[in-house]
Structure 1
Amino acid sequence: MTDRLIIALAQLNPTLGAIKANLDRAREARREAWDADLILFPELFICGYPPEDLVLRSSFVTACRDAVEELARETISGPAVLMGLPWREGANLYNSVALLANGRIEAVRHKFDLPNYGVFDEKRVFNAGPAPGPIAFKGVRLGVPICEDIWTEETCETLAETGAEILLSPNGSPFERNKDDVRLNLVVARVTETGLPMAYLNQVGGQDELVFDGASFVLNADRTLAWQMPMFEEQIALTEWRREEDGWRCVPGEIVAVPENEAETWKACVLGLRDYVLKNRFPGVVLGLSGGIDSAVVAAMAVDALGADRVHCVMLPYAYTSKDSLVDAEECAKLLGVRYDVVPIKEPVEGFLHALRPMFEGTPAGITEENLQSRSRGVILMAISNKFGAMVLTTGNKSEMSVGYATLYGDMNGGYNPIKDVYKTEVYRLAEWRNSLGHVIPQRIITKAPTAELRENQKDQDSLPPYDVLDTILEGLVENELPVEQIIKNTGYDEALVRRIQHMLYIAEYKRRQAAPGVKITRRNFGRDRRYPITNAFRDGR
């Protein structure tokens, strides 16, 4: 029995499916934490999280097991390891944690409470394990509740009742705004109920739409915060634990301030974009820089994520592109220090119009002709991507994607969209926040009326309500799933307007199904969180 433990918390960024690379990173982390008794890794670290249907491949599960057994053999010396992996027993497949010590796998515990809501569908691929008991390590009984196991009372209560002395919780908890407060309150509840201290370890990094923000922490049994690790950054924290008269206590260590509001949203978007580009091995990104707020914010995020030398901005002007937009786009590119090219689209647009003239003759010009401009831009950006390898970034915000204010195979072209889950009103706040760190977005881009510039004197508010009104309605419809009648009562907005926005939201589902992935920021992003049918005749009160 020992009265002192050094437990390393490895807040790291795995790459999903890169089993050997994740194993090598685990080895590196052990070397960095060589003086620790034990090192804790995030949920399913050896394969990355969430592995989704990859775990249905027997070869994938076998490769994970082989890698963990290889690491276990190395624990004859140095710190022991708590490593997450998919674990098969007979016909059952579990989301598990293994204790690696003394050259072997000494114990395995399985996740008991499988999440099946929002972005999670673990019941699709995993079996729920039995209620876990503590793991004996150096005479200390360690409870290891895995992620969702701490979101309900049962697992932690069972561990406390069966003699656990310290709770170590490996997590793969995706970012959404203000979720760090939710997690802290959750752990406070578990600590209060059990009377045990808890180390909450979360993964960091981007995985497709999801961003894992880290923000790991340790809470003592008296509910005092002993450690707070950073958000959106890798870190290995060596936490010291001592046995006292009333139980184990973590010696207070570093308390890092975590970002809030626009700062955390910006950092989440940047991390998600960076990891999507780098983990998929793109050399850089290319995007259309229109002189508008959305593309300027995305360009700034791309520079923060990848560096100016890996960002290529292209202005694609047509007859309706204003002189202000040309000036603003060029200034923005100069402030960001990126490569900037101008490719006029007059010839391709007129080529399409010429080819279609016999069929379109006698019909009035309208949205079809406007969309040809957007689609010409999309073709050119994709050609640049094909020629030079950079991935196209698309720049539509959540407000536009909600109501279908976007052109398929045009401005929706692209491999990734960092602001896909950011409403338009927040895009403006993000621009102001980023400029407070250093002026990179011209002020006129922030203050001028938003426009797609697809016809003379066009403004977004020709067909949409003001964005503060639109976003309030959308928050009710999308984030809170409120009935139309409740939104009208809450806001006082015109009933016809609210119903029109609901109709636009529903009929744009087919576009969203074809949209590029983008960073999850809100509680209900399109795709993983909010799964509505394309064919949908339902309307509230109808």
Structure 2
Amino acid sequence: LLRELVRAARDQGVSLLCLPEMCLTGYMLEDLVQWPQVTERAWESLEALAEDTGETAVFAGLPVRVGGLLYNGLALLWKGKVRGVTLKRFLPSYSVFYEGRNFTPWRGRETVEVKGRPAGDLLYRLPFGDVAAQICEDAWVWPQENLSLLLQAEILCNASASPFSLFKPDLRRRVIQSTAERMICQHVFSNLVGLDSARLVFDGGAMVAGPQGIAAEGPLLHPEPWKLVTAVVDLDEITRLRSENTTFREAYSAQRENGRVGEVLDLRGEGEGRFLPPTEYPLPETGSFFLEGGDRRGGGPGAVEEALDQLLDALVLGVRDYFHKAGVFRKFLVALSGGRDSALALLAAARGAALLPGPGSPKEKVARHVEARYLSGPFSSAATLEAARGLCAELGVPFARVSIEKEFDLARSALEEMAGGTPPSPLALQNAQARIRGAMMLGWANTVGGLILVTSNLSEVAVGYFTTGGDNQGGFSPLADIPKTLISRMLERAAKRWGVESLEKILELAPSAELAPDQTDEGDLMPYEVLDDILYLYALKKLRPDEILGVLEAKHPRAGKERLQAWLERFLFLFDANQWKREQSPVALKLLYLDLDPKTGFRYPVLKGDRKKGK
């Protein structure tokens, strides 16, 4: 069965396979392990199994003898050879376990030999990455003497023989996931399945966990003799996360000072490794990279709804607390455009106001503490006006339409005069409308003691699609950390969860700043779905442009490579060119892992060399 499993993994192009603890002999050997032929036959089976490995590196568990003492071992097999044996450090001798009766715990700082191979604490430098292993109980003990070695591993494999008991799988999952988060690594867990020695039922449940969630997980208590659970992982991301994380770097340096433990086996010269092209980058099952991570487990719509609910609740809580704890505002003020961003900002303000302390019902608090204005310009549409009016009516928010057309005409004439008779450019006229609105909102806030909610989203912030001195003017920017595609999904969820029917009309409208005839956001930029994918892959994952293009080709095949290349180059240029705008943004709420706020999580040079062609 093991050879069948190894061949299946090899044929599927698996780079690393982790088999369970004691898989060659069974876990519950009891005193049978004292017979010398048991370890001898196990080693013979190990060498036979190695013949089937090819380019697939395989960990396999077995008992081994060192100087007459028995150890619980985990051997690495690769390209037909046994390369080394990791020895178990912590032997459970409680409950149903009594490994200490026969096995010796490994406590050495140097390595020993088993059949001429190094044994002890080992790190393998393989062509695809650095790999270390633990055996079952070793994953439950923290910290360990060999931590300096383990912290070098990009992939940490845990081979287990963990028997089933009610609720234990959930506990085990938490341990595996927390190790991946704490050590910033890919953590691979394997387990026996089925009845062993008449008493213990092993439940399987193999998984691959990364710092941001479970990447793959196998079924529990499956009747088949084995299940191959695979995941594609990005080891460059491990390198990036570790380099960005000061706590990890400090912990690693501290452990290095404790001295060398174990041995590093460099096998990189013996192969090239199997690296998938960018077109094979794992695509999000949810449709959005920003909704991946955490414990998705293929949870489908329920898991997505839970994530969106958390975002909505965090948004409402953040808006309410900023208003309340500042202690200087009497009203939330929103420039309501009839579009998605201002609709979500108004919804957060209304629900936040309803939760404010003080007298009155929730409806009375909303009417007292929230107001909205539709500042219509020469290109505003009846559709957005009615959408804005309908949302305010449903939420119980005082609403009024105020025209800026007279002010715009004056501004256009003044701009032409300032330019010596040259008519203002189309961009200048668009920005003039935004700045008039911004000035009017600030004046209104001064008059009524209001907190202006800025409605720019993360996608706009990334590419500078907002007007300095215009729609970025205000006291708090609650949406600046939420990409446009996620805002749309949050509104869809809010409409369903809270029964806000007027949101449906807003979601039917194409996103537009309405600053020019027939203008749309996506016409000015690119499809938001593509923009947000590039934003995630470039700003968060730090992929190279050529890698991003490969992912885009896989996710958006109908767009065509040439168009995707043009959109990518445009994004990269705009991202670099607009850091000066981001430096002037108001205080923003942080809700996602990615943060472009220069005051908190994103330090980026304003001047950045050659910006041509998205280099």
In the TM superposition, residue 538 of structure 1 has moved relative to its aligned partner by 5.5
**Equivalents in 1 of 2:401, 2:489: separation in Å?**
28
**Equivalents in 2 of 1:189, 1:455: separation in Å?**
48
In the TM superposition, residue 365 of structure 1 has moved relative to its aligned partner by 3.5
Higher-Rg structure is 2
Amino acid at match of 1:328: A
CA gap of 1:258–1:283, structure 2 versus 1, over 3 A, is: farther
Do the aligned partners of 1:333 and 1:340 also contact (CA within 8 Å) in 2?
Answer: yes
Amino acid at match of 2:426: G
Residue 570 of structure 2: aligned partner: 500
Do the aligned partners of 1:401 and 1:420 also contact (CA within 8 Å) in 2?
Answer: yes
SS in 2 for 1:316: strand
Residue 336 of structure 1: aligned partner: 395
SS in 2 for 1:343: strand
Residue 323 of structure 2: aligned partner: 277
In the TM superposition, residue 442 of structure 1 has moved relative to its aligned partner by 3.1
1:476 aligns with 2:537: yes
Do the aligned partners of 1:300 and 1:440 also contact (CA within 8 Å) in 2?
Answer: no
Residue 604 of structure 2: aligned partner: 532
User: 1:428 aligned to 471, 488, 495, which one?
Assistant: 488
**Equivalents in 1 of 2:304, 2:321: separation in Å?**
21
**Equivalents in 1 of 2:405, 2:614: separation in Å?**
47
Do the aligned partners of 2:412 and 2:424 also contact (CA within 8 Å) in 1?
Answer: no
1:296 aligns with 2:368: no
Do the aligned partners of 1:294 and 1:397 also contact (CA within 8 Å) in 2?
Answer: yes
TM-score, reference length from structure 1: 0.52
Q: How many residues are matched?
A: 303
Range 470-479 or range 353-362, more displaced = 353-362
- 1:273-328 deviation line (CA, Å, top 9, x unaligned): 11111111122210100111110111001111113231110110011100111111
In the TM superposition, residue 526 of structure 1 has moved relative to its aligned partner by 1.2
Range 491-500 or range 265-274, more displaced = 491-500
**Equivalents in 1 of 2:348, 2:175: separation in Å?**
27
Residue 316 of structure 1: aligned partner: 375
**Equivalents in 2 of 1:541, 1:506: separation in Å?**
9
- 1:198-256 deviation line (CA, Å, top 9, x unaligned): xxxxxxxxxxxxxxxxxxxxxxxxxxxxxxxxxxxxxxxxxxxxxxxxxxxxxxxxxxx
Residue 580 of structure 2: aligned partner: 510
Residue 177 of structure 2: aligned partner: 185
User: 2:516 aligned to 455, 458, 480, which one?
Assistant: 455
CA gap of 1:526–1:376, structure 2 versus 1, over 3 A, is: same
Residue 419 of structure 1: aligned partner: 479
Amino acid at match of 1:435: A
1:268 aligns with 2:314: yes
Give the 5 Å matches for 1:334-373. Answer: 334-360=393-419, 361-363=421-423, 365-373=425-433
**Equivalents in 1 of 2:415, 2:422: separation in Å?**
12
**Equivalents in 2 of 1:516, 1:429: separation in Å?**
25
TM-score, reference length from structure 2: 0.46
**Equivalents in 2 of 1:406, 1:279: separation in Å?**
28
Do the aligned partners of 2:534 and 2:548 also contact (CA within 8 Å) in 1?
Answer: yes
- 1:111-149 deviation line (CA, Å, top 9, x unaligned): xxxxxxxxxxxxxxxxxxxxxxxxxxxxxxxxxxxxxxx
In the TM superposition, residue 363 of structure 1 has moved relative to its aligned partner by 3.4
**Equivalents in 1 of 2:609, 2:318: separation in Å?**
35
CA gap of 1:537–1:268, structure 2 versus 1, over 3 A, is: same
Do the aligned partners of 1:288 and 1:381 also contact (CA within 8 Å) in 2?
Answer: yes
CA gap of 1:440–1:283, structure 2 versus 1, over 3 A, is: farther
Do the aligned partners of 1:450 and 1:460 also contact (CA within 8 Å) in 2?
Answer: yes
**Equivalents in 2 of 1:447, 1:156: separation in Å?**
60
Give the 5 Å matches for 1:161-310. Answer: 185-186=177-178, 260-281=306-327, 282-307=329-354, 308-309=366-367, 310=369
Range 326-335 or range 488-497, more displaced = 488-497
**Equivalents in 1 of 2:540, 2:314: separation in Å?**
19
- 1:72-91 deviation line (CA, Å, top 9, x unaligned): xxxxxxxxxxxxxxxxxxxx
In the TM superposition, residue 483 of structure 1 has moved relative to its aligned partner by 1.1
Q: Which runs of 5+ in 1 are unaligned?
A: 1-151, 159-180, 191-256
CA gap of 1:375–1:490, structure 2 versus 1, over 3 A, is: same
**Equivalents in 1 of 2:174, 2:584: separation in Å?**
32
**Equivalents in 1 of 2:386, 2:378: separation in Å?**
15
In the TM superposition, residue 448 of structure 1 has moved relative to its aligned partner by 1.4
Residue 519 of structure 1: aligned partner: 589
In the TM superposition, residue 480 of structure 1 has moved relative to its aligned partner by 1.0
SS in 2 for 1:291: coil
Do the aligned partners of 2:416 and 2:424 also contact (CA within 8 Å) in 1?
Answer: no
In the TM superposition, residue 488 of structure 1 has moved relative to its aligned partner by 0.8
Do the aligned partners of 2:372 and 2:400 also contact (CA within 8 Å) in 1?
Answer: yes
Residue 462 of structure 2: aligned partner: 402
Identity of matched residues, %: 30
**Equivalents in 2 of 1:446, 1:258: separation in Å?**
19
**Equivalents in 2 of 1:259, 1:403: separation in Å?**
28
Q: Please tell me the root mean square deviation across aligned C-alpha atoms, in Å.
A: 2.8
CA gap of 1:182–1:341, structure 2 versus 1, over 3 A, is: farther
In the TM superposition, residue 259 of structure 1 has moved relative to its aligned partner by 7.9
SS in 1 for 2:399: strand
Amino acid at match of 2:423: T
In the TM superposition, residue 155 of structure 1 has moved relative to its aligned partner by 10
User: 1:385 aligned to 435, 445, 450, which one?
Assistant: 445
Amino acid at match of 2:479: I
Amino acid at match of 2:443: A
SS in 2 for 1:475: helix
Q: Which runs of 5+ in 2 are unaligned?
A: 1-140, 148-172, 183-302, 355-365, 554-560
Do the aligned partners of 2:415 and 2:424 also contact (CA within 8 Å) in 1?
Answer: no
